[in-house]
Amino acid sequence: MERVEELLVSLIAPPNHQCYLCDREWPTAEDGLCDDCRRALKLAISPAPPVGLDGLSVGIQYCDALSSVFYRFKNMERRDYAPFLAQFISIPEEWNAELLLPVPLHWWREYRRTYNQSYLLSEYVSSRFGIPICPDLLVRIRHTPQQKMRSGKQRRNNRRLKGAFRAAPECAGRSIVLIDDVITSGTTLSECARALKKAGALHVYAACVACSTR
């Protein structure tokens, strides 16, 4: 219970009252943004769900102002960005979600990074929506090159992602939501969904912070 309370407090009280996007000392609202940066962000119109997914929810449109935030969050140990980013993730009630599964990293990449950013996001989403996290039910069994360095066409045709994930039998008959930070081509989410459906998952959805059109 204490852990949940800490998560909620950090979500509504950004450290030092700095804007998460511009880092300037401004009086911020509960979303952690100054007025200028809030105007710069655009709500996303969720694209069609990638192949294999039964639904997709995206909070905001990826933009230059967010690039440094995601870079620090994923590569510079800035775990404090998790509550700020997680607030943009929404899970529709009609999904009847039973489990949250963070999109997994390969064990070697997670070892080098020391954490999985999708799991950190899942913690806050779980505390808001009351849906349990079960990260061990989906694992990445093959190390693959990072998608961010590839073009859109290369992402969609990345054959090395085929069979890169394995889902546990406990997924059978469940309604599952994948949690991730940014969706671009949707190839990774499709492969996760493929593994989950193969294991018998009833429905597989995805909820992400932002979407990019690259």
Which amino acid is located at 68 in the chain? S
Q: What is the pLDDT of residue 17?
A: 74
Q: How much is the pTM?
A: 0.84
Among all chains, which residue has been given the structure tokens 């493929």? 194
Q: What is the pLDDT of residue 26?
A: 77
Q: What is the pLDDT of residue 120?
A: 97
Between strands 138-140 and 165-167, the pairing is: antiparallel
SS3 205: strand
CA separation for the pair 180, 188 (Å, rounded): 10
Kindly list the structural domains of the chain, giving each domain's residue range(s) and its CATH number in brackets, ordered by start: 42-63+82-211 (3.40.50)
Among all chains, which residue has been given the structure tokens 């192949």? 51
Q: What is the pLDDT of residue 158?
A: 56
* DSSP string computed for 63-119: -HHHHHHHHHHHHS--GGGHHHHHTT----GGG---EEEEPPPPHHHHHHHSS-HHH
Q: What is the pLDDT of residue 154?
A: 47
First to last CA, the chain: 41
SS3 214: coil
pLDDT digits (tens, 9 = 90+) for 119-172: 999 999 999 999 999 999 999 998 777 545 544 454 444 567 888 999 999 999
Among all chains, which residue has been given the structure tokens 């510079």? 76
Strand partners, 210: 60, 182
- Name the stretches of the chain with pLDDT < 70: 1-16, 146-159, 214
C-alpha dist (Å) from residue 113 to 73, 105, 214: 11, 10, 25
Q: What is the pLDDT of residue 3?
A: 54
CA separation for the pair 47, 152 (Å, rounded): 15
Q: Which two tokens mark 91?
A: 């899970």
